Amino acid sequence: MPDRPTALARRPRSFARRRLLAGLAAATVLSACGGRKPLSLHGIDLSGRDFGKDFRLLDPDGRERTLADFRGKLVLLFFGFTLCPDVCPTALTRAVQIRKLLGRDAERLQVLFVTLDPERDTPQVLRAYTQAFDPSFLGLTASPERIAQTAKAFRVIYAKVPTGSTYTIDHSALSYVYDADGVLRLALRHEQSAPDCVHDLRQLL
């Protein structure tokens, strides 16, 4: 696992998470839209929600990626940054545990990590960071403007916070999950355990 920076102060992200969760929770009554069967979830059912439909971002090799590239697999999408001291390493460590618990079905899950800090998260940094957790994890980046547009499209809340001579980033911490058809289906809560996440994911396999 990558070293966690000590220069960055740990800052609570509960406010951003509460704002996002409140909006998503209000929409769960629409989860059965589109003819899909209702899911019994520990996370948040996002079936039928009209956001986060796609992205156009770059992988560390400079290749443009969209959801269509991962058709046929579940996609677990998380927004963060490599210098994150706590939330991001926790989310990616859980993703490693999820793959282990899925067993043979692990190959049917693609984990994507979208940086919110493209200025510091160069392609080389992003590749080293994600592969330190699991070689199959893929980091995605773009220009700061494209990242901001993508975060808005996914209703991700984030902000730079000065910390002395540098900065950290406060951000919401949901992991979004797409089914094999590239349709947004659920959000895994940050506090959700790996076994509970696997319970949710297996309903989409």
199 is in an annotated binding site: no
**88 labelled ligand-binding:** yes
Interior angle at CA 51, CA 108 and CA 115, nearest 5: 65
For residues 132 and 1, is the Cβ–Cβ distance under 8 A? Answer: yes
190 is in an annotated binding site: no
Give binding residues for Cu cation as ranges.
Answer: 84, 88, 171
Residue positions forming the annotated binding site: 84, 88, 171
